[in-house]
Structure 1
């Protein structure tokens, strides 16, 4: 039985993490797989008897109707909600750390949306919790060979349609669409129109609108 407390054990686990590389492709982009993240730390977690599990505090689902660039009508399921990741010392179960987190997922099937949300949230929770390298070493800036991506990073039609949908849902007696759109750009600190946004800017806009910070 280890004499380390949970905080000390987590420091030992963090030491196992190096630089991650994009090892999985999907939906037109590359990303760090959840398996790569877990493989880096799982053996150390087992060695130190550390558990990690999610607790759901309330999950909501919705549908998002949009038209593709080819004119096809599509419906996606959107999963979102609050959750908590719990680190627990199996040698001393009362020794635990709770970290509030968010859950988001969007797919053409509700079960896939939920699964994607869980997988995505776990991957990025681990990357951020253990202070994985950022900036030039950020795994979302690297491909599997460690070279910087050269492809387009323009926001997709799906992202922009979703931003537009969220803006329309936020319209009320005090705020019309144009004022909400203007305030959203101010919050994002950009003068670019929506059609020129990058994928990261569209994701930022979605988070702002879902969090109710655009008004």
Structure 2
């Protein structure tokens, strides 16, 4: 199996991740949640992700925070931090074949004086994985088991509608191909494969 086949299977496995933390007025998916979802699949398929920092740029940022009113005027407390900009390369490596997939990425981080780099690296890893696998994060319950069950039932109805349009012989062969007696016995992966097969069949008509 090629490295791209393995990566495609990971992408197919993770439909989305719900936002699990809130900060600075917005919700987001934490790095821990992303890693916990993807790492077991990486181990299963024998893939490593090698991060490399290609360039670092630090810039001092001075600004005002904690606005308060003094003598009729709004005043702010001065604060200084370091804005760290990093250019990186993330390389997927197939440990069985040595096949690689290299990807350039960039990120920023600003967190006091000594933590900017760590924030930038954490941000880069999280968003590289989210964007590489096109993982949706804009629904709170996107990885909720009940939502997945609902999606599966919707897909089953869609497949069933197309399936019943086939001749009896073709329906029998398809069930034999998936080694099931009925569509209700199909897994989500099998339903997705069947949907693709049925689309191709109907396109030829």
* TM bin (shorter chain): 0.5 to 0.7
Q: Deviations over 1:166-196 (max 9, x none)?
A: xxxxxxxxxxxxxxxxxxxxxxxxxxxxxxx
8 Å CA contact 2:17, 2:142 repeated in 1: no
Quote the residue 1:42 is aligned against. Answer: 39
1:6 is aligned to 2:3: yes
In structure 2, what is the Cα distance between the partners aligned to 1:52 and 1:145? 25
Question: Under a length normalisation based on structure 1, what TM-score does the superposition of the two structures give?
Answer: 0.59
Q: Point out the structure with the larger strand share.
A: 2
Determine helix, strand or coil for the equivalent of 1:19: coil
Quote the residue 1:82 is aligned against. Answer: 87
**How do residues 188-203 of structure 1 correspond to structure 2 at under 5 angstroms?**
none
* CA RMSD, 1 decimal: 1.8
1:121 is aligned to 2:124: yes
Quote the residue 1:184 is aligned against. Answer: none
Greater gyration radius: 2
1:142 offset after TM fit, Å? 3.7
Give the number of equivalent residue pairs: 135
In structure 2, what is the Cα distance between the partners aligned to 1:44 and 1:116? 25
Quote the residue 1:164 is aligned against. Answer: none
> 4+ residue runs of structure 1 moved beyond 6 angstroms?
none
In structure 1, what is the Cα distance between the partners aligned to 2:58 and 2:140? 33
Quote the residue 1:63 is aligned against. Answer: 60
1:14 offset after TM fit, Å? 1.2
1:32 is aligned to 2:37: no
**How do residues 11-22 of structure 1 correspond to structure 2 at under 5 angstroms?**
11-22=8-19
8 Å CA contact 2:51, 2:88 repeated in 1: yes
In structure 2, what is the Cα distance between the partners aligned to 1:145 and 1:87? 26
8 Å CA contact 2:18, 2:140 repeated in 1: yes
1:131 is aligned to 2:128: no
Q: Deviations over 1:5-29 (max 9, x none)?
A: 1111101111221221110123333
In structure 2, what is the Cα distance between the partners aligned to 1:76 and 1:99? 29
Q: Deviations over 1:50-106 (max 9, x none)?
A: 00021111111111001125110000111002111110001122x101101002101
Question: Under a length normalisation based on structure 2, what TM-score does the superposition of the two structures give?
Answer: 0.61
